[in-house]
Amino acid sequence: MAPSLSLVLLIVLLSSPAIYAGHDYRDALRKSIMFFEGQRSGKLPPDQRLRWRRDSALRDGSSAGVDLSGGYYDAGDNVKFGFPMAFTTTMLSWSIIDFGRTMGPELKNAVKAVKWGTDYLLKATAIPGVVFVQVGDAYSDHNCWERPEDMDTLRTVYKIDRAHPGSDVAGETAAALAAASIVFRKRDPAYSRRLLDRATRVRYYHQTIAFFWL
């Protein structure tokens, strides 16, 4: 999910096109956002632009009795790591908040990219006091070169809770949900409130756990 930082840089460049004449940064922005569509996991929507991708990992979370389908795969892996996914969602959200007016027709796709991340983070934080932070086994995944539509590697589920604290990933997850709530404040007020309420709950509960372990 590393392109999130380069996406911010590209949007900054778009604000001063005259200085960088000769380079098509709008096309670069389009391709940067489209990258996230290629990283989508789960049931793909009808407006998916990368048609060579198909549904994948629809049973993620079933081993833990929860639905963790959706979200983004990490880089070239078929593993879903909660920390970089949350960080990416945070950065995408702030890119829209600060530079959305310069994104042109790609703004709607950037908003969809944020929602794809937050829909998953809402699933990952649905159980009070628990954040599911990884789906997939990195070791078996790195030893198997398969596209996600065909993968047969372990889909192990990892979580943080009172017995297994992780304030860093919990904090980033809360930040992602809170930042995205600003993105949707006017676009979808009900969804925005849901994101902010969940961010507050995740932050409060895991902050309490962090103090408990000090």
Architecture of domain 3-213 in this structure: Alpha/alpha barrel (1.50)
Question: Do β-strands 80-81 and 131-135 pair in parallel, antiparallel, or remain unpaired?
Answer: antiparallel
Q: What is the pLDDT of residues 165-198, one digit of tens each?
A: 898 999 999 999 999 999 999 999 999 999 999 9
The confidence score (pLDDT) of residue 119 equals 98
CA angle 8, 11, 15 (to 5 degrees): 140
Tell me the C-alpha distance between 82 and 117, whole Å.
10
Q: What is the pLDDT of residues 12-40, one digit of tens each?
A: 445 545 445 678 888 999 999 999 999 99
Tell me the C-alpha distance between 177 and 196, whole Å.
6
Q: What is the pLDDT of residues 128-150, one digit of tens each?
A: 999 999 999 999 998 888 899 99
Q: Is residue 88 within 8 Å of 1, Cβ to Cβ?
A: yes
The confidence score (pLDDT) of residue 20 equals 56
The confidence score (pLDDT) of residue 177 equals 98
The confidence score (pLDDT) of residue 208 equals 64
| Percent of the chain with pLDDT strictly greater than 90 | 72
What mean pLDDT do residues 68-89 have? 95
Q: What is the pLDDT of residues 90-116, one digit of tens each?
A: 999 999 999 999 999 999 999 999 999
Structural domain boundaries in the chain: 3-213
What mean pLDDT do residues 54-76 have? 96
Residues 6 or more apart whose CB falls under 8 angstroms from that of 105 comprise none
What's the whole-number average pLDDT of the chain? 88
The confidence score (pLDDT) of residue 204 equals 76
The single residue listed with the structure tokens 């001063």 is: 16
The answer to whether residue 207 scores a pLDDT higher than 70 is no
The confidence score (pLDDT) of residue 47 equals 94
Residues 6 or more apart whose CB falls under 8 angstroms from that of 43 comprise 55, 58, 69, 70
What 3-state class would DSSP assign to 158? Answer: strand
pLDDT band at 86 (very low <50, low <70, confident <90, very high): very high
The confidence score (pLDDT) of residue 212 equals 44
